[in-house]
A and B are shown apart, each in its own frame.
Chain A
């Protein structure tokens, strides 16, 4: 199985900050990576698919990059609505696996 790791596990930031979250896969997954945002008590929301493609309706301050085993999610200017937990997910091969999550909270 492909293992996914994320860093950091928690990130404290202020509104307006540039935020970067890193996701690593235990083996190459090409660009088959998605990023999700989840708020407490809610279902996850797709932000980015195929490593760098922005899902329709997602603000352009979110961007993704990377390929192979290392990926990043960047929020160019953190907004109040962005305080949440972010998960990466590989869908290169079954079993699909998620990273452990990165919680972005208020500094």
Chain B
């Protein structure tokens, strides 16, 4: 079964750091671009980062310089290192696989809460 499973969410204080993980199974992980997307409670979807098969990375301005996406193909794993966290980063974070560039497989999400 093709599957993505996120982990690593939790409660963190403003200014703190957190590392999210996404475990992939059921497909050739190294052959796909991968993304992180977040959703604040009751709000819409916001694209957070992408990593290509060659390791090229992309970010929106809202997280650039604070978040780092990485992948470890040998472990079929995707990561998101989040530093200098703010209250506005509070959201459910999803990892997603890109096929035909659209996001065809999504994880169940992991909740990140930034609060003192």
**Contact surface of A with B, Cβ cutoff 8 Å:** 1, 32, 34, 36, 38, 43-46, 49-50, 53, 55, 87, 89, 91, 94-101
Closest 6 CB pairs of A and B: A49-B102, A34-B102, A43-B106, A95-B60, A96-B47, A98-B45
Asked whether, in the complex, the Cβ of A95 is within 8 Å of the Cβ of B45, the reply is no
Query: What are 5 A-B pairs with beta-carbon distances under 8 A?
Result: A44-B106, A89-B103, A94-B58, A96-B47, A99-B44
Asked whether, in the complex, the Cβ of A44 is within 8 Å of the Cβ of B101, the reply is no
Asked whether, in the complex, the Cβ of B59 is within 8 Å of the Cβ of A95, the reply is yes
Q: Give the bracket for the number of chain B residues in contact with chain A.
A: 20 to 34
Residues of B87-116 contacting chain A, CB below 8 A: 94, 98-104, 106-109
Asked whether, in the complex, the Cβ of A44 is within 8 Å of the Cβ of B45, the reply is yes
How many A-B residue pairs have C-beta atoms within 8 angstroms? Tell me. 61
Q: Bound complex: CA of A97 vs CA of B108, how far in Å?
A: 20
Give 14 A-B pairs besides A89-B103, A96-B35 with Cβ atoms closer than 8 angstroms: A1-B61, A34-B102, A34-B103, A43-B94, A43-B106, A44-B106, A46-B102, A49-B99, A49-B100, A49-B104, A91-B101, A95-B61, A98-B46, A98-B47
Q: Is the interface of A mostly helix, strand, loop or mixed?
A: loop
Asked whether, in the complex, the Cβ of B60 is within 8 Å of the Cβ of A50, the reply is no
Asked whether, in the complex, the Cβ of A101 is within 8 Å of the Cβ of B44, the reply is yes
Asked whether, in the complex, the Cβ of B100 is within 8 Å of the Cβ of A50, the reply is yes
Q: Give the Cβ gap from A84 to chain B, nearest Cβ, in Å.
A: 13
Asked whether, in the complex, the Cβ of A89 is within 8 Å of the Cβ of B44, the reply is no
Asked whether, in the complex, the Cβ of B45 is within 8 Å of the Cβ of A43, the reply is no
CB of B50 closer than 8 Å to a CB of A? yes
Q: Bound complex: CA of A89 vs CA of B44, how far in Å?
A: 11
Q: Give the Cβ gap from B24 to chain A, nearest Cβ, in Å.
A: 14
